[in-house]
Amino acid sequence: MNYNLYKEKGINVSLDKEKYEKLPPKKYFVYISEEGDFSRENKNAYYEILSGKIGVPFVILSKINASIADFLNCQECTDLINNSLFTITQVMSIDNNKETNSDWENNYIKLSVKIKVPKILFYFSKRRMNDEDGSNLKEFPCSVNRQMVRAIRGYYDEFVKAIYKNSTDKAHKLAAELLFEAYKNIADKRFDEENKKEVEEIKKNKALLNEKYIIFAHARTGSTTLLRVLEQHEELKMAHEPFSQGYFIDGPSRKKIREILSNKDLYFSLVEIFKKNNGFKHIQQHINIEFNKELLLLEKAKIIFLYRKNLLETAISSRISSLVQDWGWNPDKFKEKTRSFKFPQISIKELEQIIKKIKTQNNDYKDFMIENGVNFFELAYEDLFGPEVTYEEKIKIVNRIFDFFGKPYITNPEKVERIKHMLNPEEMKTGSIELYKKIPNIMEIEKTLGSKENGYLFKKNQEKIKPSSDGVKNIFSRFWKKS
């Protein structure tokens, strides 16, 4: 890189960690700023924090007492910007000696047109925007008011506003979080559009052309036990939560699934998953709603939609696992860990929010599948794992799942015995009344949130939300096939 080309125009170029002779294309982001501004008062600046979160270095283009016109007239700057992953353009002061409010607005708009990569407009200041004419607004960005920012923000993909009294570590950390969310939004929108053709090509990969089997579940719904049961079938090889942070595609290479920021990431990962598996268990919370819907719309996919009727138990179970940092993959270890764990009080308001969120998401996903003709099998936790359900009824439901998958029943005596062990609630169930009672305010939780709609924790079984009154027969009828 020829730094003299920039210096001749008064532009300072600052590179993250080291100076590159040639910056790798699309492997860095650019921050356009006024040198000595509010954001530079902190050593651990937000762009450094953002760089760490995204995993790419940053390049700063800055100038003392800069106006946006300085960058607009720098072709080298434009080339550097358009070779980047994305750019952050700071809302800078207006130079009252050189430009009017209208000039300032037009220059920002002109620069936005020249920028061909995703772009974020960033207002970072100690003061709030307002509708005054700006003549007495001395805090950075000087002389800039709300009306001026409104005039330009629509020309950028995202607008982020961060206002803090002081340039503290906390302020920069929060600003970085806001920018990271904006970056993810850009990734969802812009990157998907740019890579649409590539995504269509990935979809043609032979690994995605065969029939697929997916357990689509909320956390704490018995999905791990169901996965273990289905894995006993010799024709099913199912991955365990491949979009969770701790998942590796294969042990020896330790190759991790990439972070899902776009449809391209999603389908690339699905190819890797289905190279060695014909199904997987997926927890809704591991990726966002739009990517979950992409999973549900996969060609030749057969979905088990697993949920729990007792929402209060689901919420409590989720909080318990979060507190002890154990999600019950090994029931014996989970029980041992919770036995000695001293539980704090659990926020009733937080539980109420969890219940509301689960209820809304389950209804939305079910409606989405019905509206889009998704081939799915609806299964409630209580219908397979409930204490009133006999072993014979459980086996009938498991066999009905194999019917749905188009697979023969398991007849191997050893595997049948193994399944019987897995479906024994005494062996596999991690939640219990004794465990709930370890929570100091559990009776208050029961009194406040327990209801026919949410479910109960301590009422007698017959007063709890029960399995379907028609038993297994009703489960069999819950198929939704593509028309």
What's the CA gap between 223 and 305, in Å, rounded? Answer: 10
Query: pLDDT at residue 37 above 80?
Result: no
Per-residue pLDDT for 479 more than 50? Answer: no
Give residue for tokens 């950075």: 140
Say whether both 151 and 220 belong to one domain: no
How many residues are recorded in the chain? Answer: 483
Q: Can you give the pLDDT at residue 135?
A: 43
The top-scoring range by mean pLDDT among 96-110, 136-150, 203-217 is 203-217
Number of separate domains in the chain: 2
Question: Domain of 433?
Answer: 198-480
Assign 417 a pLDDT band (cuts: 50, 70, 90): very high
User: 142, 177, 194 — which closes off a domain?
Assistant: 194
Q: What is the mean pLDDT of residues 355-380?
A: 95
Distance of alpha carbon 75 from the chain centroid: 37
Residue where the block lists tokens 């079984």: 461
Same domain, 367 and 308: yes
| Predicted model pTM | 0.59
CATH code for the domain of 245: 3.40.50
Hey, what are 298's tokens?
């996969």
Q: What is the pLDDT of residue 399?
A: 97
Report the alpha-carbon distance of residue 253 to residue 442 in Å, rounded: 45
pLDDT per residue over 154-165, tens digit each?
999 999 998 887
The answer to whether residues 285 and 397 belong to one domain is: yes
Same structural domain, 131 and 264: no
Predicted pLDDT of residue 470: 40
Question: pLDDT band for position 245 (50/70/90)?
Answer: low
Nearest to 111 by CA among 38, 161, 56, 61: 61
Q: Is the same domain home to 409 and 457?
A: yes
More confident: 433 or 399:
399
CB-based burial, 200-212: b 16+ in 10 Å, e otherwise:
eebeeeebbeeeb
Residue the block writes with tokens 């960058």: 71
Whether residue 327 contacts residue 321, with contact meaning beta carbons closer than 8 Å, is answered with yes
C-alpha distances (whole Å) from 95 to each of 62, 129, 135, 143 are 15, 17, 11, 8
pLDDT (tens digit, 9 = 90+) per residue, 297-325? 999 999 999 999 999 999 999 899 889 88
The answer to whether the Cα torsion of 153, 154, 157, 161 is positive or negative is positive
End residue of a domain, out of 138, 169, 194: 194
Same domain, 145 and 235: no
